[in-house]
Amino acid sequence: MNSINSKEIYDLKAPFAPGTYIELFLENNDDIQRKWGFFECDSQAKMQLLFVSDDYLQSFDSFSTLVDIDEDGELECNDDYNATLIEQENTNKIGFSLPLYRTKETKFEKYYIVVFAYEGEMPTLQDPYVIIDMSFRVGIGEDDNVANGVNLANYPKNIQEWNQISHIQSVWDAVKFFECLSKKIGDTFTIMRENFFSFCKNNPQIAGKIAYIYYRFDLGSQSFIDSVENDFKDYQRDRDFYFQTCKDVLLNCPIEKNNPKTLKEKYDELMQGKKLDIAIYKNLISKIATAICEKLDLNLITKNGEIDFFQGDEEEWGEYYKRRIRVNENNLHDLKEIIKTMIHEIRHFYVETYYYPGQGILRGYLFYAHGFSISDDYKILFDGFYKFDDKERQENAYEIQPNERDARFVEKIIDFLG
């Protein structure tokens, strides 16, 4: 009988996080066109019932298709789980994201998905299958109301032992997990960022757990932050300090030493004008960036007092990299959005400069998240992670990671500019 397996980079005996990208293959490669799908089981007892008989199997209502074959014999991959054929037209090898949402999130003890490769309308017990333990949990509570839990009594000594852990309850647990990872990936922002992508490609099961921690321990949730910082609000006070510093600079810093007009007043003047003068806009943006960085004692690299400008696509706004702020001059017509982007990018600079392990719990969490930063380069690994904002717009893994949540909070200062 044929059987389903995975690459050695996955440990099928260890729990997986929801949303994790996984690749599976049939051990006996043949020319048969097969469908793929999975059952979800929110307990071990329910999973065992699945194997009582074909009648039990086909009566389960928790079945989802990954790869189907339509009436014309065409293969259809389910985008809901980012399902894809590893080799075109070959149904022996597939990749997909595990489901992100689980039923009974706060109540289950074990959670499984059972993946089948089958030829008929529905799987049978004679078809190849593999059981995946999807019991990895983070924090306590439902997805929309996650709270910090209690710390582990003893911490694993290496990544392999961490991979066997089924529940990271607290942010401190997550920080200790990231601390262990940093010994493998790198212990500075630059080294962590340079090595993180290759680490994720070679350790997708761990990568899924990192992303799921970001998904659950969401710095965009004030109730979650409060559950971590009950009394000593170190992270929140520092975040507010950054916010207020940027606001004070805009309101009070003069455009020139001998000119009492403030940066905010110059901004208002430009917003009332009808003509876009690129040189004047660049000058104001550079002065705002340098003034904020000077106030925060950040050693910003400029050229004759001007930050870096580039000509990019419309969807590009700016970036921070190695003490430099870069802004897309093709978007200077939207001055407010450009200033917002700059405050966002300077926040990354600030965190890189002043955050490190051993400070408050959330500051340590943000330190590692800044180093283990998800980018679009990792797309297939993290496509299974997303949330919906207040306007029902889907946010991807890049947007919901802590370092982006943090920077997007402080950029709201722009609202007072009007």
CATH number at residue 89: 2.60.40
User: In total, how many domains does the chain have?
Assistant: 3
DSSP code, position 152: P
- Residues contacting residue 280 through CB under 8 Å, at least 6 positions apart: 270
pLDDT recorded at residue 137: 96
pLDDT recorded at residue 340: 92
**Residue that terminates a domain, selected from 198, 228, 258:** 228
Summarised one tens digit per residue, pLDDT across range 318-336 is 999 889 999 999 999 898 9
Strand segments (E) across 141-247: 167-168
Residues 62 and 179 placed together within one structural domain of the fold: no
Residues 273 and 200 placed together within one structural domain of the fold: no
Which of 401, 367, 361 has its CA nearest to residue 385? Answer: 401
Q: Which two tokens stand for residue 281?
A: 């806009």
Residues 191 and 272 placed together within one structural domain of the fold: no
DSSP code, position 314: T
Q: Which two tokens stand for residue 136?
A: 């990895």
Residues 127 and 176 placed together within one structural domain of the fold: no
DSSP code, position 392: -
Residues 355 and 247 placed together within one structural domain of the fold: yes
Residues 302 and 400 placed together within one structural domain of the fold: yes
Classify the C-alpha dihedral 402-406-407-412 as positive or negative: positive
Give the C-alpha separation, 170 to 152, whole Å. 8
pLDDT recorded at residue 38: 97
- With a cut of 50, list the residues of the chain below it in pLDDT: none
pTM for this entry: 0.94
pLDDT recorded at residue 103: 85
Residues 96 and 183 placed together within one structural domain of the fold: no
Give the C-alpha separation, 117 to 305, whole Å. 62
Residues 220 and 108 placed together within one structural domain of the fold: no
pLDDT recorded at residue 413: 78
Classify the C-alpha dihedral 350-353-356-360 as positive or negative: negative
Cα 387-198-38 angle, rounded to 5 deg: 50
| Bridging pattern class, strands 137-138 and 167-168 | parallel
**Residue that terminates a domain, selected from 135, 151, 172:** 135
Residues 282 and 266 placed together within one structural domain of the fold: yes
Residues 160 and 110 placed together within one structural domain of the fold: no
Residues 207 and 249 placed together within one structural domain of the fold: no
Domain ranges, residue 149: 143-228
Residues 238 and 336 placed together within one structural domain of the fold: yes
Give the C-alpha separation, 414 to 306, whole Å. 21
Q: Which two tokens stand for residue 242?
A: 């950054």
**Residue that terminates a domain, selected from 188, 211, 228:** 228
Question: For residue 416, what are the CA distances in angstroms to 268, 305, 334?
Answer: 12, 26, 16
CB 289 within 8 A of CB 326: no
